[in-house]
Structure 1
Amino acid sequence: MDQTPVIVPPVIVTGAAGFVGCHVAERLLERGETVIGVDVFNAYYDPALKEARAARLESRRGYKTVRMDIADHAAFADLVKTSGARRVIHLAAQAGVRYSIDNPFAYERSNLAGHLSVLEACRHAGVEHLVYASSSSVYGERPLNGDGFRETDPADHPVSLYAATKRSCELLSQSYAKLYGFPQSGLRFFTVYGPWGRPDMAYYGFTEKMLKGQPIEVYGEGRMARDFTYIDDIVDGVLGVLDHPPAAGGHELYNIGDNDPVGLMEMISTLEAALGVEATKIFLPMQPGDVPATFANIDKLRALCGYKPKVKLADGLQRFVAWRRAYAG
């Protein structure tokens, strides 16, 4: 009987030192996968946080960090080919709606050139499934309804450059799946929060200011609503999609959210309770590029893999606050 061990190719995760990327890589390692994490460690926010995330991963067996700009096509294509990877989770991107207004060319390189680089590398290396990050921002400005935003809804009126690049990535992937036959799944993330999160997100920035006794700036006069989704629930969805690729040549889009929009003022009061601090609030108009509300319809993802968010906002913010206190020492 042949006792030769079966060697399972690694999973490549781009943006692995980022918020979602580090959690996805960690869960893959927990289930016995080997992971190659790719990240450029840019200074969009404090690189020390990215280094700390990477250090946690590097302490685990089966993980390797590659410091690389995914838009460097030759280097990334060589990595994919020589690694033997058959699955790629592409999460690297320049995030942030407001940052795109003053730094548009960062989005051209990271989001457009970067995504095209990943597509080319995957199709030449014979990758069997590409899972990539999109965003709820592609839905643009729209009112809340009882059904939520569906993947079949129009997504052709972006209100920010960030949203436009994410929708462009979806169209690029659709064309590559059709032309070259390799399956792809795009994930429209709704507002993600939790431990090891991004400091540019509202809940994180509010926490920092409230702990310092500083006022917080509440945009949209506090009338916005977001489908806040805890990071563990996001990872459940990412891996569920990874494990259920479309047929050859298929391209599918999935909402990943909590399916329960929460008003901004309710989020702030929940955060106040978690911190034991009352915020001093400065109310300001809506900023350019922001949308009034997001609401994920998750029927398609539930049908695919039984996706069901478990962590509600009060519990999730408590976990974030506990992490933040520990991380800050």
Structure 2
Amino acid sequence: MKILLTGAAGFIGAHVARLLLARGDEVVGIDNLNAYYDPQLKHDRLALLQGQSGFRFQQMDVADRSAIPALFAQEKFDRVVHLAAQAGVRHSLVDPHAYIDSNLVGFTNILEGCRHHGVQHLVYASSSSVYGGNTQMPFSEHHGVDHPVSLYAATKKANELMAHTYSHLFDLPTTGLRFFTVYGPWGRPDMALFLFTRAILAGEPIQVFNHGKMVRDFTYIDDIAEGVVRTLDHVPTANPAYDRSQADPAASHAPYRVFNIGNHQPVQLMDFIAAIERHTGREAIKQLRDIQPGDVPATYADVSELQAWTGFTPATSVDEGVRRFVEWYRGYYKV
């Protein structure tokens, strides 16, 4: 297939690209290569892809209302994997307009491109953040997600609503994937594993929020990438048996689905830090802090719907995933 992959230089995007290329798909990757974090890391991810047969890259912003339609018209994609977004819960308190431009305007451009050019299936990144203030665990796609606690989360919920509208109005098959705390080699420098590993190896203190009483469903990058590709291959269809009188957020009369992708093995933050200490061979200097605005104390994914739909369940242990990350980090930064 010929696939548009947005956010191709990103953490998840680069791993998804490798899987698609390995099975023989043609991948056209786009990314704006912004400076939200060190662009060199993005260029180095791309360098691993650009020598591979079937991969082409264009620097492009999904919010560009002239470039994106032209790209769709020229390339005639079979399917689209949309991972480009302004990421980060905390940064959305600082620069909200970046989230509107990328996550809302950009997503509209992608939806319009799919609508007007016969795309067979749009798979897009949502987030566990949509569960917001929910406390019922594990988080299920059948739960309501009407109380976001950050603008980032609100834009991801909006993406799901926008996708449903296009599935309903234009019969565009769409699948949203709610990622749960993705980590692993080539990860983002603003995420906990990267920040903690760098500080611990440098002998610097780490900031532990909510006094360490955080629980996260840490999900290894290879499992995330596999989940993306598996769902890309399973195109949703309209469900005429859907009962509109008993609305279910996980289903629809339209060709629309949403799925959690998480390790379904929530881990205490202190245990996560212990794994980093174990594989770096260093003890962390911990500074306990209050929970930050926009953060939630716990996440936990119910992945039964993903397993039923694709036959796949994430399974990489945190200990193994952290070991692989530390090994990559030491090699990449030569520490």
TM-score computed with the length of structure 1 as normaliser: 0.95
Alignment of 1:103-252 (within 5 A): 103-143=95-135, 145=137, 148-247=138-237, 249-252=254-257
SS of residue paired to 1:244 = coil
Aligned counterparts of 1:234 and 1:27: Cα–Cα separation in 2: 11
The number of equivalent residue pairs is 319
What corresponds to 1:22 in structure 2? Answer: 14
1:38 and 2:48 matched: no
Aligned counterparts of 1:91 and 1:38: Cα–Cα separation in 2: 10
Counterpart residue identity of residue 70, structure 2: D
Deviations 1:9-62 (A, max 9, x none): x11100000000000001100111110011000000000000000111101111
Q: Is the CA contact (8 Å cut-off) linking 1:199 and 1:205 kept in structure 2?
A: yes
What corresponds to 1:96 in structure 2? Answer: 88
What corresponds to 1:4 in structure 2? Answer: none
Q: CA deviation at 1:144?
A: 5.8
Counterpart residue identity of residue 16, structure 1: A
SS of residue paired to 1:96 = coil
Q: Is the CA contact (8 Å cut-off) linking 2:122 and 2:174 kept in structure 1?
A: yes
Q: Is the CA contact (8 Å cut-off) linking 1:89 and 1:131 kept in structure 2?
A: yes
Match of 1:286 among 291, 307, 332: 291
What corresponds to 1:3 in structure 2? Answer: none
Aligned counterparts of 1:304 and 1:286: Cα–Cα separation in 2: 36
Counterpart residue identity of residue 246, structure 1: P
Aligned counterparts of 2:97 and 2:319: Cα–Cα separation in 1: 37
Match of 1:256 among 261, 285, 306: 261
Match of 2:301 among 281, 296, 300: 296
Match of 1:305 among 307, 310, 314: 310
Q: Please give the root-mean-square deviation of Cα atoms over the aligned residues, in Å.
A: 0.9
Aligned counterparts of 2:134 and 2:193: Cα–Cα separation in 1: 23
Q: Is the CA contact (8 Å cut-off) linking 1:77 and 1:122 kept in structure 2?
A: no
What corresponds to 1:266 in structure 2? Answer: 271
Deviations 1:126-158 (A, max 9, x none): 11100000000000123363xx11001010000
Alignment of 1:47-86 (within 5 A): 47-86=39-78
Aligned counterparts of 2:188 and 2:81: Cα–Cα separation in 1: 19
Q: Is the CA contact (8 Å cut-off) linking 2:260 and 2:302 kept in structure 1?
A: yes
1:326 and 2:331 matched: yes
SS of residue paired to 2:69 = helix
Deviations 1:81-118 (A, max 9, x none): 21121100000000000000010000010101011110
Aligned counterparts of 1:31 and 1:144: Cα–Cα separation in 2: 39
Q: Is the CA contact (8 Å cut-off) linking 1:143 and 1:292 kept in structure 2?
A: no
Aligned counterparts of 2:199 and 2:166: Cα–Cα separation in 1: 45
Deviations 1:169-213 (A, max 9, x none): 110010011001110000000000000000000111001111110
